[in-house]
Structures are given as structure tokens and as C-alpha cells.
A and B are shown apart, each in its own frame.
Chain A
Amino acid sequence: MKAEFKLYILVFLIMTTGIGLILYKHLALGFPLLPDDKKLTWIVEAKIDFVANGEPVIVSFALPPKNTSTIFMEENFASPDYGFSEIASPTGRRAQWSKRSANDSQTTYYRLNVYKNDLTIATPPSDIPHEPIKPEFDKAHQIAAIALVEQARNKSANTETFTRELIKLLSPQMPNQNQSLLINDQASVDYKTNLVIDLLALENISARIVRGLYLEGGRRKQTLSNFVEVHNGSQWLLFNQETGEIGLPENFLIWQHGAESLLDVIGGQNSRVSFSIIENVQSSRDLALLNNENKQATIIDFSIYSLPIEQQNAFKMILLLPIGALIVVILRLIIGIRTSGTFMPILIALALIQTTLLTGIIMFLTVVSTGLLIRNYLSHLNLLFVARISAVIIVVILIMASISIISNKIGVSQALTVTFFPLVILAWTIERMSVLWEEDGPREVFIQGSGSLITAVIAYLFMTNNTIAYLTFNFPELLLVNLAFILILGQYTGYRLTELYRFNSLDRRRNAISEP
């Protein structure tokens, strides 16, 4: 009883550690549980052009703020011969390129690789706004502005609805006198943004401009879009200045909060910034891996991922073996399939992975049955045991070679894969089968042979399953879960399925005795 109790505690500990690690990797580090999980990533490139006039040049460019809802995988600042530094200013990050002297047209690049993090919800910035600065309009504009604000106020209940109504009143779909006075057709986007902010200030509401980029693939020469961010007393709310919609649109990258300039160029003129966006689809697992490698998460740093690729590939295979072992345990202990050699089926399954299922089985059967025939002949020669096994190995090689050559001549290239079968295992199988034939008869050979093959095929099906292969490699913690399962199965003392068949006649006979 005590030993069992200890075992259950052990199983529980192993199981919780395993599952805990898996959940941690999934929830905290963002490793997806399914292999086909894909994510959109974008490469945003900002191209800054200006014409230098031979003086010292300083280019200062606002960089998008880092937050939890978007993950910056990579940032590049490429510009020839420029000194570069990243400066943290109170209004956000800025890139600064500098050069002693430059002439003619100059270009600098900023490239950003970014994807959305589904796991955290975007949190609005929490900084406290300044007091709104009352705008100064001329007489006519002042009246129009007050009228508009009045109108919006009447239709609204709070800051949120007021802002929405105000934007609606300014939209060209609802033309009216006040609106057309305030905005003429030539008014720039920035002008409108500032107008909205000014009108909000009349109502004593703090607001600021937000510039950002719609992340859509294949766009070139994009400019930033303007949004209005309004403080409702407790938090900042983002408004679309054209439609009045609240909230961050999907796939929108906020570049800048506040009215500070996007680009300042000292020592140059005709400066211009344009954005181009390339969309990519990448596997979530690769992204998670990359991101966590960057962050140097310990669990990733000390994992299989830190090994060279070659060894990682080897581990891909090795980590599948425990799945095969679990299958064998289940099939032997619970189903009761008899196999020749306990773990020989796993080795066959490994060979099947290389050869594909059908070809593999045909090859296996051909080699083993031919081998059995020849072994039968060898048994008539007077040979010592070790010599005979060695002879069988050589015979197996000959069979493999002839199968490969013949099939190549016929034009069936798949048969060449026969070489993936582990030689010694095949020879040993043949020897065992042949001894089994002599000792226990063909019936046992058939039972154990087909048992081994069925087990191998089932193990193969599990080991080649995409999801299982993905999970075992990316969540090696599953080994612990697997181990716990095997420990529990090791305690199973119930009947095997085949025993229900085996003892069936006994059961019926007892019924026959007790009934009359």
C-alpha cells in the first residue's frame, strides 16, 4: 500500500511538472499546441528621402512605441555612412542619424518586422494628459466652432459620445454651413485632426493626435493615418477621425502619440518619408521560438532548440520513440498482442517511417520470408550459431541488393528504400522466427509475426502523425507525461483484451455447467 502511494505521488508530480511546463510554454511563451498555427507578420519599411545641402546632417525620426500587443521581432536602421543612435525622448523613441557633411539626395531606411500578439489585449496608454489649450479662432470661425460644439453637446451624454457626434458633424456626409466654414475642400488631414482637437478643447476635453499605419500587405508609398486620442478622465480612447469609430482598428500599428513631428531633418530639405509594407505568413511556433530566443527565456535557452540543427533532427526522431514505447505498452498490457521481441516493432516502425508504409511492409515481408527460406537451408548445413546469424545477415544484404537492383531495372524506385531497414534487426528477426517455427510451429510464427507487424504499423501511424511529431519535438515535456502514463499502466492488473477471448470457452463452459 505504501509503495503504491509513493508511486501515485511520483506519477502525480511527474504529470503536473510535465503539464505545467507545457502550459507555461503555451500560455506564457506563445508556443502553439497545433503545428498548423500560422500568424501574419509584416515587414514595415520607412524610407526617408531628403536633399542634403552640404552641412552637418541630423535626421530625427519617430519610432513606433513598443507595447505588449505587438511584438517587434527585428528592427534595422540601414543608411550608408551615417552615425546612428536610438534616443528615448519623453514623447517616445526616436531614431537619430547623423553625418558631418552630405550632398545631394540622401536616403535612410528603418525596417521593422512585427506581428500581433494574440495572447495579451492591447492596453491603452495610461499617461495623464495636459490641460487642453483653448484654441484661438477668428470671429467667424469662433461662432461656427461654438455652434458645432453646441450641436454635438446636445446630441451626446459624455466625452465618448460627444467626440463621436463632433466627428460626425464634421464629416462630409452631413454638409452644413458651420462645417464647410471650418473645413474647406483643400484642408489637409492634419488640419482636420487639429481642428477636432481644438473643438474638443473648447469643451475642455484633452485630446491628442495619434499617427499610425494600416498593416496591409503589398502596399507601397503609404503615409501614416491620423487618429484622435481622447482622454475621458480615466483613460485614453482612440477615435477614427473620419468615421467616429472607437477603438484600435485591426492590424493598425500605432507609430506615434502626440503632436511631435514625425521627421526632423537638420541640414537638408525636401524631406519626405514613405512607408511600404510586406505581408508574410509564418508559423506561430517559429515566431514564438524567435521571440523567446531574443528574450532569452531560460526554458528555451536550455532546450533542444539550442542544439545544432543536425542534432535537433536526430532528436526529432528520438523523441518519437517514447510514443512507440507507449503504444507497445498499451498493445501488450491492455490489448495483449504478442510480438516477437519486446521493442522490435518500434524499430520496424522507424524503418517504415523512412520507407513509407506500403512499400515498407511489402519489403519487410519479402525480405523476412526469403530470409526464412534461406535460413531453413542454412540449418541443414552444420553451422555454429553465431556464424549462422552472420550468414543470415549477409544473405539479408544480398536479398536487399537484389530487390533494389531488380526493382530499379523494372523502374520501381520505391523498393530502393529497403536499405532503411536495420540489417541486424532483420537478420535477428529471421533467426528468431525460424527458431520459433522449429520450436512452437508455424502457428506461433504467424501469431507473433503478425502481432509485431500490427504493432509496428500502429506505432508508425502514431509516430508519423503530424501533430504528434510536432508536439513531441516542441514540447519535450510530454516525455514526463508519457512517463507518468507508462508508470500507471505498469500497475494495470486487469485482463488483457486477448485474454477475454482466451478464457471465453472457459466462461461458456462454466455457464453450461451451472445452467442445467
Chain B
Amino acid sequence: MLLASPKKLRSCGIIGMNQRNFSLVSRYNPRHLYPLVDDKLKTKLLAQKAGITVPKLLGTVDYQHDVKKLKDLLSAHHQFVIKPVKGSGGKGILVITKRDQNDYIKPNGDRLTLAEIERHVSDILSGLHSLGGKLDTVMIESLIQLDPVFSDYSYEGIPDLRVIIFQGYPIMAMLRLTTHTSDGKANLHQGAVGVGVDIGNGKALHAVQFGKPIQHHPDTQKTFSELEIPHWDKLLPLAAACYEMTGLGYLGVDIVLDRDLGPMIIELNARPGLAIQVANSAGLAPRINVINELKQIDPDPQSRADFSKENFSNSLSGSLPPRLERTRQGD
């Protein structure tokens, strides 16, 4: 069988792209709030105001003629990340981990000259990576230090954790591990490994690469069963608090774990993808239903995180009756 039966998928509560767009994104995410998450600089400032930890901003480049100032801006830093402010899906992110005299070195060892970095910055400013090709801004952030927990599970890059926040409640989580194939990027399209994470305790559940289940990290050969995400109790409320921050009802929160600074929000996404269901081997719909049946949304992120831990733990989710996300009659 090459294809799954739609009936079965529905009974598992798997949400498809059309349904995501129709009954989650367009219903719970008002358009006018998008700029808050599509503009990473705004997100960062907003998060700082709300007391949420974010990577330190080293500087920004707003105009083409400022590209020449890049040299001075970077001179003080040996490690940094260059990002397009309006980029999406990890596009246009350049990570520099080392400097060797005049060369900048990427995690995979490639050497870049200052001119090449200037071109990259100039591309970003021209809108190469932004949605709809709009003019963009470049921001330079401090580099995240890899948490030793992940050192066996990531290759040439920093893994990140995607948590889906629905109406303020964390409902599903997935760890994205970098691989050699993915060029050190936590991008599932390029071959990063997605690992489903138990909302209850932060332990790894299943892992997929290119949509196919795998047992070991393809580069380090480490099995995923021993993987457990540290600071889980601190991390969930942090993610849940992004609901108040943005007002978006269906939100993807990307979190990295810094060795020294702990969990930090790096990006928010108003249209989080569906691969998380494959990594978790579970559908989003039953969990969305649980939240929808609540009489009111708890104003405290901490107690929302506790509620999710209690209700969406993997040991429980199997026993929940599979229910359908019925948004319209007869569909």
C-alpha cells in the first residue's frame, strides 16, 4: 500500500494542509498579527519586552550602503549568525563559528571571505529570502552554544525544538536535528531528522528523515530512545507564553537550548507545517479538540503548560478516544 486511506488518517486525527489553512491558520491567526512573527526583529523586541529569553542581537543592516560597515560590525565577534528579518523556513541564515585571520568559517568548515558575506547580506537586503521578495533587513545575532545533550545527535549545526501552541496550550513538539545531508541546517526538507517529543516529559518518541521512520541518527549512529530534552519544565511555559505575546491562536514556536543560557526563542511561525504529526506518529486534531472543549483559556502560561503535560503525555494520548476535528458539517 503506497497510500494511506483517508478514513484511517481521519480517525487518527491527522490534519491535512487544506484543513490546516482553512480551519487553523485562517481561523485562529488574524492577518494583521502576522507581521509580529514574520518580522524576526519585531518578534525579538516583543519577546525581550515580555521577558522571554532570546539570542542576543549584535547588530542590524538596513540599507545596501550600510553593507560596507559590516566589517566593523563583525570585527568584535568571532561567532555569529546572520539572518534575514523577514525570511521564513530557515532561509538565508548564515552561521559563522570561527574566524581564521580574514576568513570566516562555517560549521561545515567552508571558508568565506568578507566579500562573500557582504554579498549574502546584500542578497538578503534585496529581498531574496523574504516572503514576496520585499525589501528586507539583516540582523546579526550571537551564536547559540550547543547543549552537550545534543552533541551526539547533531551534525555541524544546532538542533531546534518546534512546539505547536494552540490557544496558548503546547499541544505537540518535535526536535529537529541537523545532519550532514541537511548541511547543518534544522530544515526537514533538506534532510534534518524530526524527532517527536512527548509533551509530558520531553522524551523522544519517534524519528523521521524525509518522512521515513529511522532509529539512529544517520551521522552519529546514536539511537534516539535515550534522548531527553533538558529544562523541559522551564521550556514549555516559555513556549506557551508566546501566545500572550503575539495573540496568534495557532503558532509554531522554535526554541533552541543554549549551553549557558538555557532555552531561548529564536523564531515564531504563524503557519507551522504538518511534518510534526509524522514525527510524533499522532494527529493534531484530537488535541485541538481537547483545548476547544475547555470553557476558558487559563491566563497563566505555567498552568497551561501543566495542563498540556497532564493531558498530552504520550502514555495518555493512546487511550484518548480518537476524535475528529469537525469544523464543518459534512466534510
Tell me the A residues contacting B by CB distance below 8 Å. Answer: 4, 333, 336, 382-386, 435, 439-441, 443-444, 491-497, 499-510, 513
Contacts and interface: CB of A to CB of B under 8 A. Distances in A.
Given A493-B23, A509-B213, A502 B278 contact: yes
Nearest to A383: B119
B278 A505 contact: yes
A393 to B, nearest CB: 16
12 contacts: A382-B118, A385-B125, A439-B90, A439-B91, A439-B187, A493-B16, A494-B19, A495-B14, A499-B17, A504-B2, A508-B4, A510-B12
B18 interface: yes
A497 B18 CA distance: 11
Contacts of A384: 64, 122, 126
Interface string B189-211: 11100000000000000101001
A501 B3 contact: yes
A76 B317 CA distance: 87
A414 B8 CA distance: 50
A329 to B, nearest CB: 11
Interface string B115-159: 110110011011111000000000000000000000000000000
A504 B10 CA distance: 12
B122 A506 contact: no
Contact of B189 (A441, A494, A499, A505): A441
B46 to A, nearest CB: 26
A234 B129 CA distance: 84
Nearest to B206: A509
B225 to A, nearest CB: 15
B230 to A, nearest CB: 27
Nearest to B182: A441
B221 interface: no
Nearest to A493: B19
B3 A500 contact: yes
Interface string B256-286: 0000000000000000001001100100000
A507 B327 CA distance: 23
Contacts of B92: 439
Contacts of B125: 385
Contacts of B90: 439
Interface in B220-235: none
Contacts of A441: 181, 183, 189-191
A384 B65 CA distance: 12
**Which of A382, A384, A503, A510 lies at the interface centre, i.e. has the most chain B CB atoms within 10 A of its CB?**
A503
Contacts of B110: none
Nearest to B2: A501
**Which of B126, B208, B277 lies at the interface centre, i.e. has the most chain A CB atoms within 10 A of its CB?**
B126
B212 interface: yes
Interface of B: 1-6, 8-10, 12, 14, 16-19, 22-23, 64, 90-92, 115-116, 118-119, 122-123, 125-129, 181, 183, 187, 189-191, 206, 208, 211-213, 274, 277-278, 281, 318, 327-328, 331
Given A435-B128, A510-B281, A333 B2 contact: no
A497 B91 CA distance: 27
Nearest to B331: A493
A496 B17 contact: yes
B22 A491 contact: yes
A386 B135 CA distance: 11
Given A491-B22, A501-B2, A506 B189 contact: no
Contacts of B213: 505, 509
A336 B213 CA distance: 22
Nearest to A497: B3
Given A333-B18, A384-B122, A505 B208 contact: yes
Nearest to A504: B4
A435 B277 CA distance: 28
Contacts of A435: 128-129
Nearest to B275: A502
Contact of B187 (A440, A494, A507): A440
A382 B115 contact: yes
B289 to A, nearest CB: 15
Contact of B1 (A503, A504, A510): A504
A503 B17 contact: no
A368 to B, nearest CB: 19
A449 B74 CA distance: 38
Nearest to B12: A510
**Which of A385, A435, A513 lies at the interface centre, i.e. has the most chain B CB atoms within 10 A of its CB?**
A385
A495 B189 contact: no
Contacts of A386: 126
Contacts of A506: 4, 12, 14, 277-278, 281
Contacts of A444: 189-190
Nearest to A492: B18
A500 B4 contact: yes
Contact of B123 (A4, A385, A500, A504): A385
Contacts of A507: 4-5, 8-9, 12
Given A493-B22, A494-B18, A385 B12 contact: no
Contacts of B4: 500-501, 503-504, 506-508
B318 to A, nearest CB: 8
What are the 5 A-B residue pairs with the smallest beta carbon separation, nearest first? A385-B126, A507-B4, A495-B16, A493-B19, A500-B3
B278 to A, nearest CB: 5
Contacts of A491: 22, 328, 331
A336 B16 CA distance: 10
**Which of B4, B19, B206 lies at the interface centre, i.e. has the most chain A CB atoms within 10 A of its CB?**
B4
Contacts of B278: 502-503, 505-506
Contact of B328 (A4, A503, A505): A4
A441 B281 CA distance: 26
A509 B280 CA distance: 11
Contact of B127 (A385, A493, A503): A385
**Which of A4, A384, A491, A499 lies at the interface centre, i.e. has the most chain B CB atoms within 10 A of its CB?**
A499
A499 B318 CA distance: 23
A305 to B, nearest CB: 39
B6 A509 contact: no
A336 B17 contact: yes
Contacts of A495: 6, 9-10, 14, 16, 18
Given A439-B187, A503-B9, 13 more contacts: A333-B18, A336-B17, A384-B64, A440-B189, A441-B190, A443-B190, A492-B18, A494-B16, A494-B19, A495-B16, A500-B5, A507-B4, A513-B281
